Amino acid sequence: MKIKKFKAQTVKEALLLVKAELGPNAVILNSRRLKGPLLPAFGKDSYEVTAALDESAYAMPEQACADEGVATRPAKSVQAYAPRKVETAVAIAELDREKKEKVLPSGLSFEHFAPPAPPANTDGNFSVLRQDIDTMRGALTSLVTSLPDAADQRLGKGLRAIKKELEESEVHAAHIDEIITAIRQRSSDEDTGSISRMFREAQVMIEKGITVSGYSAAQKKGRALKIAMIGPTGVGKTTSIAKLASHFKLKEKLNIALVAADNYRIAAIEQIQTFAAIASIPVEIVFNEEEMERALKKFSGFDMIFIDTAGRSQRNAEHMSDLKRMMAAIHADEVHLVLSITTKQSDLREITRRYADASYDRILCTKLDETERFGPLYNLCRDTGMPLSYISTGQNVPDDIAAATSHALARLIIGGGDA
């Protein structure tokens, strides 16, 4: 790990020095304003940025190649290896090691849990018998899975179909039970009653459960609307800001500014600066609460300020308390917790719970183009009590985003029962 301090008259200049010397994979560890000017003749404050580069994470050691039987290649430059991939591989190996150490009682190895080897086939009849058993097992399995379970059997055809569709959309079982019970109480004649009427009732219930916050509207009160995006890593916070900022600037002709507190990686700073330059939107990069307050003050005459934050794991207590402090300095009008619909449901529950300290008041859901199961949208609203703001449906800036609407989203979760 190479750690170095860079001094310059502005943070931007210091970052250029970091990039020139350590390259784009450098990580910013700290930045601070230095008392007094760097060059007294210029009379301005100066800044110090501490950056680090973990060179070992990017270089593939020749020994490792040899150990894996891979032909040794000529050494490549540090940039030749994608940083995220290398970090992920190291992290997975580390997790694997921890898991083995934690889960296994001492003295046991994974081999103890390996299934016993099948007995040698000493008798020709044995293999015939085995095939018969396999055939019977297959027939029984398909018979059992084609039968509705005991509880489902008590439901009529319509309710069974609704339950199946909601399960396929990955609506939580508890919510499905609630919907089925409510429809059942209203429809005593469920077997003879119209199935499509019952589906409509289910659609209405899903629609009511998906609350939405509506389109962000500039205050028109002589002060900027402050919109902050927070959330786990890589969910689409910066991309969503780029889409919304472009939309409000180009279509609504509003004055937009950006503030990025996502300063952990040089690449993240470049991502937002590049977008801001292309879209001709002013941007400030801030490193602490004091700088955040100054940037917000600078842009207070704009219509909207979008505030980007660094992706944080909900499991890192220190990062979560940094975020909480930063949010307290922002006093945002809207705090969107950005979540990808492709995240496991159990993780979504944990994220929404742990991010509560950062006081989000709506959820922006991304990557709807990467699934066909939309039940998590309903689960998120019901479980957090928060409305959905926008939904993101692809990588294209500015097109792939829309304000969430209950009716359209409910139709993605449950159809009309015609199929």
Ligand X SMILES: Nc1nc2c(ncn2[C@@H]2O[C@H](COP(=O)(O)OP(=O)(O)OP(=O)(O)O)[C@@H](O)[C@H]2O)c(=O)[nH]1
Stretch that binds ligand X, among 9-17, 18-26, 27-35, 364-372 (CB under 6 A): 364-372
288 binds Mg ion (CB under 5 A): no
- Least distance (Å) from Mg ion to the CB of residue 396? 17
Please, which residue, 216 or 263, has the CB nearer to Mg ion? 263
Bridge partners of residue 307, in order along the sequence: 228, 259
Piece of 13-21, 205-213, 254-262, 316-324 that binds Mg ion (CB under 5 A)? 254-262
What is the rounded end-to-end Cα distance, in angstroms, of the chain? 59
How many Cα atoms occupy the beta-carbon half-sphere of 396 within 13 Å? 6
Tell me if 286 sits within 8 A of 252, measured CB to CB: no
Does 13 interact with ligand X (rule: CB under 6 A)? no
Would you call 263 exposed, middle or buried from its count of C-beta atoms within 10 A (0-12, 13-18, 19+)?
A: buried
Q: Does 25 bind ligand X (CB under 6 A)?
A: no
Q: Which of 46, 203, 238, 340 binds Mg ion (CB under 5 A)?
A: 238
Distance CA 349, CA 105 (A): 31
Contact of 343 with 234, CB cutoff 8 Å? no
Q: From the CB of 316, what's the least distance to ligand X, in Å?
A: 13
Torsion angle of the four alpha carbons 199, 200, 203, 204, in this order, in degrees rounded to the nearest 10: -140
Residue 366: name its binding partner from ligand X, Mg ion, none (Cβ under 5 to 8 Å by kind): ligand X
Q: Which of residues 208-237 bind Mg ion (CB under 5 A)?
A: 237
d(CA 231, CA 158): 39
CB of 308 to Mg ion, least distance (A): 6
User: Minimal CA–CA distance to 30: which of 54, 4, 56?
Assistant: 4
Q: Kindly state whether residue 190 participates in binding ligand X, applying the rule CB under 6 A.
A: no
List CB contacts of 233: < 8 A, sequence separation 6 or more: 311, 312, 313
- The stretch among 128-136, 236-244, 253-261, 296-304 that binds ligand X (CB under 6 A) is 236-244
Closer CB to Mg ion, residue 207 or residue 262?
A: 262
For position 169 contacting Mg ion by CB under 5 A, the verdict is: no
Partner from ligand X, Mg ion, none contacting 375, C-beta within 5 to 8 A by type: none
Determine the residue with CB nearest ligand X. Answer: 311
Q: What strands, in cross-sheet order, belong to the sheet with 27-34?
A: 2-8, 46-53, 27-34
Q: Which residue from 226, 237, 336, 382 is in contact with ligand X, where contact means CB under 6 A?
A: 237
Dist. CA 219–CA 333, nearest whole Å: 10
Using CB under 6 A as the binding rule, whether residue 246 contacts ligand X is answered as: no
53 binds ligand X (CB under 6 A): no
Residue 30 lies near ligand X (rule: CB under 6 A): no
C-alpha distances (whole Å) from 268 to each of 8, 262, 345 are 20, 7, 27
Question: Pattern of binders to ligand X over 312-351, x per CB under 6 A?
Answer: ----------------------------------------
- Residue given tokens 């090691």 in the structure block: 97
SS3 of residue 347 by DSSP: helix
Q: Does 396 bind ligand X (CB under 6 A)?
A: no
CB of 245 to ligand X, least distance (A): 12
Residues engaged in binding Mg ion (CB under 5 A): 237-238, 262
Residues engaged in binding ligand X (CB under 6 A): 233-239, 262, 268, 310-311, 366-367, 369-370, 392-395, 400
